[in-house]
Every structure is written in structure tokens, then in C-alpha cells.
Structure 1
Amino acid sequence: MRGERPMTEASGFPAVTAPEAMTISALDAAVTTCRACPRLVAWREEAGRIKRAAFRDWDYWARPIPGFGPPDARLAIVGLAPAAHGGNRTGRAFTGDPSGDALYRALYDLGLASQPTSTHAGDGLELYGVRITMPVHCAPPDNRPSTAERDTCRPWLTRELELLRPGLRAIVVLGGFGWQALLPLLADAGWRVPRPRPAFGHGVEALIPTGEGEQEVHVIGCYHPSQRNMFTRTLTPAMLHEVLGRGAEVAGLRAG
């Protein structure tokens, strides 16, 4: 029937459903029902069945992971996608894996999180003025979503940033994939992204007008706190702390 909302399995589900969400909580609820990318659905559910030995007693979440943090956040952190045995297991972004260990420790040290660890969705963790989200909400094989999967998932992030936009003052982007996904999205949403578009780099900062009055948002690049990057010291705890601290400063969450 014309005008009927598509099933969650339909590739058009995010594009139709995301703009209908009038609140962050409604958007989060809709995200968790999405089955639009067959490869990602199969992978996330397989990971939930074929568990790592260390997590054999866990009942895996094995669904899309919504954003995490308050609906009036002034600072957004944009990652890549959930880990198969991290967020896909726990039900919360950057939770239960080494990337999350580094990220939440830094946020806690900056006074932006209530505790330094994040182990599962009911562990009592709160974020202060910060919301964590991602361009792809399902765990991908080898941590590599396809371009088509990124584009199918894109309406969720578009709507999330639209709902956050009135109070948003800074976005820290973790990794090149998130940077390359975010800037075209902002341009299509009417933000005045510079041309040529700024290239990703650790500590790179772009001040981007949102298209609403004189409001501008600082978009800041940061190497992804992956286990590999932290092990090789491509990204150190001090480097991560510095970039997140800069984001908090320009967002008005922390004195400079």
C-alpha cells in the first residue's frame, strides 16, 4: 500500500523511519529494530551464537547499537561501528572492548563520565554533556562496513545530529572512516562544510556553520582508540585525552 511504512528488513527502512523520530529516545528505539543490511544482520547474529570462549555465558545483544548519552549533549563523539564481541555483546557503544576501555577512561578523567569503565549496558555509567554515536550501527565483518551499508545506515546519524543540533557545539570524530562519513552528511544537511573538504588527521579542527543562524560547530579529528592504534602508540592515552579535552573545551563543558 502506498505510504505504508516499510518493514525493518527493507533497505529503505532507515530513510523512511529516521526522519519520523521526534526525540532521541524514539530514534534510539527505532535504530534497534533495523534489519536493512542483510550481511550485517547475519554477521551480528552469528557472533551472538558463536561466542568467544570468554563470553560463553553472555546473552549477546546482537542487534543494532543506538547512540549513548544525553539528548541535549553539547559534544558528540562519532566512531565507526560496534565490535562483534564488544558493543554487539553488551548493547552499548564502545563497551566491553579495549577501544571502550581507553575512551571511557579518558572521558572519566575529564569529568565527562561517571565512572572509568564500561562493562555492560546496566552498569550505571552516565555521560555528562556527551553523546557517543556512529555512522554504522551494526557490527561489520573485519570491522569494515561496505560503502552501501554505510549509506543505508546514514539516515540514523543524519537525524541524530539534527536532533542534537540546537545545543551541539563540538564533534570529535574517531578515525578516518567516521570523518569521511560525517562531512558529506553534514554538507547534505545544509551545514556549510569548507571546500575542499578538510582532510582527516589527528587534531585537525574545522569550524563548520550549521546553517542555523550564526551557530558553528567545531569538528575535530582523532585517531581511533583501536587496540592496534593503542598498542603501536599511534594513539596514546595522552593524545586521546588532549583531543577529547579540546572538544569539551569548545563545547563549554570544561575550562580551557
Structure 2
Amino acid sequence: MSVASPLPHTEPPHDCPRCPRLVDLRRDLRAEHPDWWNAPVHAFGDERAWLGIIGLAPGKHGANRTGRPFTGDYAGDLLFATLDKFGLSHGTYASRPDDGLALHGAVIVNAVRCLPPQNKPTPREIATCRPFLDRQIEALPDLRVLVALGRIAHDSVLRAFGEKLSDRKFAHGAEHRLSGRIVLVDSYHCSRYNTNTRRLTPEMFEAVFAQALAHRGPS
């Protein structure tokens, strides 16, 4: 089961053929786990979002299994609890796509839409998937702020806006103004590894979203 995308015309097809290595992994997992989503994971959230959250790629037992970004793994526990704290969601997150959760003013997309082996997409796979990110950014008329979860998401956003990576260094809590109207805020990814090692604490993560809300502007 998957939730409907708020931007259906921007999404890759269910059997997107663009990245052979990811297609092979998808095929293997469909044989091993036929009840999983095992397909490109679509955006989740509000089509009138002012805030875009850019992740890396679906997790094997999270979004690749459930079909909704960050749903079913530890990273989602922290992300959705934080969105709830800042009034960006309605309903209760229950780690499944039919829990009735909805986002308000926010949308979540991934830089890479299919599960990569070891959660490590290649540069070619990131570039091949970037047109979908480009289309979704363009399709959000009220977008004002982007939060990039990790360096790959940060770099993908910069390339989507035609920015030089060397001019916009990734750093947790760093802010970058893009095209005069969009603010990019960087965060370490909310992965279990980062939180277990205390590279990212819940307080640090919440501070990023407080920064994002400060740039919301008039409703």
C-alpha cells in the first residue's frame, strides 16, 4: 500500500527503468518480499507546502517496504515527532501508510526515489533521479524553505537550483538563500546511526525546524 502523491504528474513510473542497479535490487526484493512496496517512493504531504523536506533515499525496511517516505523506520520516528511538535502534521504517526497521518504546510521527497544497496546511491543514480526533484520543486508554488537531510540531499538541491557546490558548504544548521526566494537549511540526517552516536540529537533536529519556521513568512 502507498499513499497518493500530492504531485502525481511529477513522479517516476512504478517500474522506472532509469537505474539498472536499482532495478535489479527492486526485482530481487519483489521476489523475496512480494507484499512490500518495492518501487519508486512518491512524495508525501501538502501540495500547497511552504516547507520541503529532502531526504536521501528510501530505507529498505522503511519507505521501500511501506511506500511512504520515512515510514516504518527509526528515522521516521524522529522526523514525524518533530513535525508534530511544530504543528506541521495532523493525526498520529503509527509507522504505516494507512495510519491517517497528514502533513500541513510541508512535503517530503527523496533525492533518490528507489532503494539503493547499502543505502548508498552512486553519483550517476543521484543525477539520473534529479529531474524528479527538479519537477517537484517547480510544482510547489508556495515553497519558501527547504530542509536538506544530509549532504546528498543538500547537493541535489543546489544542483536543482544551478548553484555551485563549492559556494554553499554543507553544515548542520547552515542556511543558504537560493534564487532570491528559497532558503535552504541543512541538517544531519535523522538516521539511527546519527542519533545513536549523538552526532544529531532531538534538540539539534528541532532547532533546524525552528530555523525553517522563522523563514515561513506570512501565511
What is the TM-score of this pair, normalised by structure 2?
0.90
Aligned to 1:213: none
Task: Please say if 1:202 is aligned against 2:172.
Answer: yes
Contact 1:100-1:118 within 8 A present in 2 as well:
no
Contact 1:78-1:134 within 8 A present in 2 as well:
yes
CA separation in 2, counterparts of 1:181 and 1:70?
Answer: 21
Where in structure 2 are the equivalents of 1:39-54 lying within 5 Å?
39-51=21-33
Per-residue CA shift, 1:46-75, capped at 9, x if unaligned?
234435xxxxxx810000001111111100
Aligned to 2:3: none
Aligned AA (1:176): R
Per-residue CA shift, 1:85-124, capped at 9, x if unaligned?
1100000000000011110010011111114524222210
Three-state SS of the structure 2 residue aligned to 1:239 is helix
Contact 1:198-1:206 within 8 A present in 2 as well:
yes
Aligned AA (2:27): E
Q: Which has the higher contact order (CA 8 A, sep 6+)?
A: 2
Task: Please say if 1:223 is aligned against 2:184.
Answer: no
Percent of aligned positions that are identical: 37
CA separation in 1, counterparts of 2:217 and 2:27?
Answer: 40
Higher strand share: 2
Aligned AA (1:44): R
| Residues 180, 34 of structure 1: alpha-carbon distance in 2 compared, 3 angstrom cutoff | same
Give the gaps of 5 or more residues in structure 1.
1-22, 52-57, 188-192, 211-215
CA separation in 2, counterparts of 1:120 and 1:31?
Answer: 22
Q: How many residues align?
A: 214
Give the gaps of 5 or more residues in structure 2.
1-5
Aligned to 1:155: 131
CA separation in 1, counterparts of 2:218 and 2:87?
Answer: 9
Aligned to 1:70: 46
Aligned to 1:35: 17
| Residues 96, 198 of structure 1: alpha-carbon distance in 2 compared, 3 angstrom cutoff | same
Aligned to 1:12: none
CA separation in 1, counterparts of 2:176 and 2:127?
Answer: 23
Aligned to 1:112: 88
Aligned AA (1:27): T
Contact 1:27-1:156 within 8 A present in 2 as well:
yes
CA separation in 2, counterparts of 1:105 and 1:127?
Answer: 12
What is the TM-score of this pair, normalised by structure 1?
0.78
CA separation in 2, counterparts of 1:245 and 1:31?
Answer: 35
Larger Rg computed on CA atoms = 1
Aligned AA (1:92): R
